[in-house]
């Protein structure tokens, strides 16, 4: 497929100043492709990048619903169906007041390549609404979900687009959404994932993103020759689904958990010790009631710091796991983590680090050989959630249910394949010095991109006269 570079224009960044989150996600992928030898070996892939950066379809709609006082409310609903070359569009629904098209395009763009890394037949998409579930009654949330799905149901299906949950969309919301879809379309099918276990859900699905993240970190530790999770000091941000189950898996494997947080502030261990399983289950109950983490009581073992993230407050740390939202690790926090001994940062959240922070991590990796901080991007490290969503789709298609052990074993295999693929691809396309750790961000980006681009080419989504 190799042709002269001059036959193609540069992979220009689409100038969309009103979409900063999407622009950041695009730049992060494009820069790693440009800084590798991929375009030297296959310059035609610049055309593929141009095509892949534009969604196949963007659906926007209004959601009109009635609150408990009988007052009419209206929100904006979205579904970004970004790429279906590998399978049905797959990606979560987010209900949060910050939701806008830029955020959903960034999430959908990341989802394309994350899903490719799982090895399963899933395309990439994302959706949601600027609806805030906090402070809403169960009846209000049900009415909103019904109004939202009334419109979305026209555009999704088991073989077309299979949404899942995300921030603000848990098991309760999935139930309301699925019930509305079933009634609207008169079909019982695997159109949503994260369903209840008695009506098509998969075991291990709630745990999958957090568990998969820790399995990925365990592979990084093995590659580094630093043993297992046992005894490692782990800082975690967030206190939602991903953080909760990452913390529980860390504890199960013998690690020390130093922190959890939410949008209001951070709870950290005061002195020595660790969060316990009982602590995590108490926080799970708090969050199920949509209550802030400041209400967590630990009999003096922890302290709460308002308005901060954990990274500059946890002291010495071996492993950092951002599990809250995008851009939650800044350049200054990245430097602080390195100075405090952190040697692995793996993202449980999507685009958890700013580009400036990633630059710090990658520069440190390039300069410090095996003693560097090793950075794992979200599209690789947190792909376990969508992987088990894909396994749920497979179970739905076959009208069967696998045991928790079967699903967990498949999850471990998928995480290992994603890790090995990222390492091998980085070693193939990214120049490195003797002893330098492979760039997982470059390797994962390139591996996911090549798989999607080749499928798009084979299906005629892009082409070039000189491609052989």
Burial of 168 (0-12, 13-18, 19+ CB in 10 A): buried
Q: 165 a known binding residue? A: yes
Annotated catalytic residue: which of 50, 105, 126, 465?
A: 126
State the Cα–Cα distance between residues 390 and 293, nearest whole angstrom: 32
Residues found in the chain:
468
Q: Is 126 among the catalytic positions? A: yes
In whole angstroms, what is the distance from residue 444 CA to residue 417 CA? 11
**Residue among 66, 47, 37 at smallest CA distance from 144:** 66
Residue 35: how many other CB atoms lie within 10 Å: 15
Q: Is 111 known to sit in a ligand binding site? A: yes
CB atoms within 10 A of CB 255: 22
Residue 53 annotated as part of some ligand binding site: no
Distances from the Cα of 68 to the Cαs of 72, 144, 154, 294, 423, in angstroms? 10, 11, 27, 28, 53
- Give the burial class of 151: count Cβ atoms within 10 A of its Cβ; 0-12 exposed, 13-18 middle, 19 or more buried: middle
CA distances, 164 to each of 23, 89, 150, 312, 335 (Å): 24, 11, 16, 33, 35
CB 112 within 8 A of CB 452: yes
CA atoms within a 13 Å half-sphere pointing along the CA-CB vector of 298 = 24
Determine if residue 241 is labeled as part of a ligand binding site: yes
Question: 309 burial class (0-12, 13-18, 19+ CB within 10 angstroms)?
Answer: buried
> In whole angstroms, what is the distance from residue 110 CA to residue 390 CA?
16
Instruction: Report the catalytic residues.
Output: 126
Binding residues for substrate: 90, 111, 114, 165, 389
Binding residues for NAD(+): 209, 241
């Amino acid at each position: 497929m190799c042709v002269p570079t001059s036959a193609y224009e540069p992979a220009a960044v689409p100038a969309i100043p009103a979409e900063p989150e999407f622009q950041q996600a695009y730049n992060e992928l494009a820069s790693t492709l440009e800084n590798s030898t991929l375009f030297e070996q296959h310059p035609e892939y610049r055309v593929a990048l141009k095509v892949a950066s534009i969604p196949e379809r963007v659906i926007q709609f209004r959601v009109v619903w009635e609150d408990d006082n009988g007052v009419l409310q209206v929100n904006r609903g979205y579904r970004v169906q970004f790429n279906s070359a590998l399978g049905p569009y797959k990606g979560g629904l987010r209900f949060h007041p910050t939701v806008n098209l830029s955020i959903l395009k960034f999430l959908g763009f990341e989802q394309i390549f994350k899903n490719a890394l799982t090895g399963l037949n899933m395309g990439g998409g994302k959706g949601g609404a600027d609806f805030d579930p906090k402070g809403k009654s169960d009846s209000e949330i049900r009415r909103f979900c019904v109004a939202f799905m009334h419109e979305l149901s026209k555009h999704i299906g088991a073989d077309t687009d299979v949404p899942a949950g995300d921030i603000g969309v848990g098991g309760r919301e999935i139930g309301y959404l699925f019930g509305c879809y079933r009634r609207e379309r008169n079909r019982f099918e695997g159109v949503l994932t994260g369903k209840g276990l008695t009506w098509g859900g998969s075991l291990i699905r709630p745990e999958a993103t957090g568990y998969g993240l820790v399995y990925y970190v365990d592979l990084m530790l093995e590659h580094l020759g630093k043993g297992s999770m046992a005894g490692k000091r782990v800082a975690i941000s967030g206190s939602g689904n991903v953080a909760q189950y990452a913390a529980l898996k860390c504890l199960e494997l013998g690690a020390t958990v130093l922190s959890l947080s939410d949008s209001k502030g951070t709870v950290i261990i005061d002195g020595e010790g660790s969060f316990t399983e009982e602590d995590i289950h108490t926080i799970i109950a708090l969050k199920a009631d949509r209550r802030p983490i400041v209400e967590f009581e630990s009999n003096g073992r922890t302290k709460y710091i308002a308005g901060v993230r954990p990274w500059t407050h946890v002291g010495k740390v071996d492993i950092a796991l951002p599990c809250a939202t995008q851009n939650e690790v800044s350049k200054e926090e990245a430097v602080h983590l390195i100075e405090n001994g952190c040697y692995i940062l793996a993202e449980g959240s999507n685009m958890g680090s700013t580009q400036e922070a990633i630059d710090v991590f990658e520069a440190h990796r390039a300069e410090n050989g095996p003693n560097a901080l090793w950075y794992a991007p979200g599209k690789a490290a947190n792909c376990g959630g969508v992987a088990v969503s894909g396994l749920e789709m497979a179970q739905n298609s076959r009208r069967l249910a696998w045991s928790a052990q079967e699903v967990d074993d498949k999850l471990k295999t998928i995480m290992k394949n994603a890790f090995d693929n990222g390492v091998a691809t980085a070693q193939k396309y990214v120049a490195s010095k003797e002893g330098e750790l492979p760039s997982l961000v470059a390797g994962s980006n390139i591996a996911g991109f090549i798989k999607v681009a080749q499928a798009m080419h084979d299906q005629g989504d892009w082409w070039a006269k000189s491609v052989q």
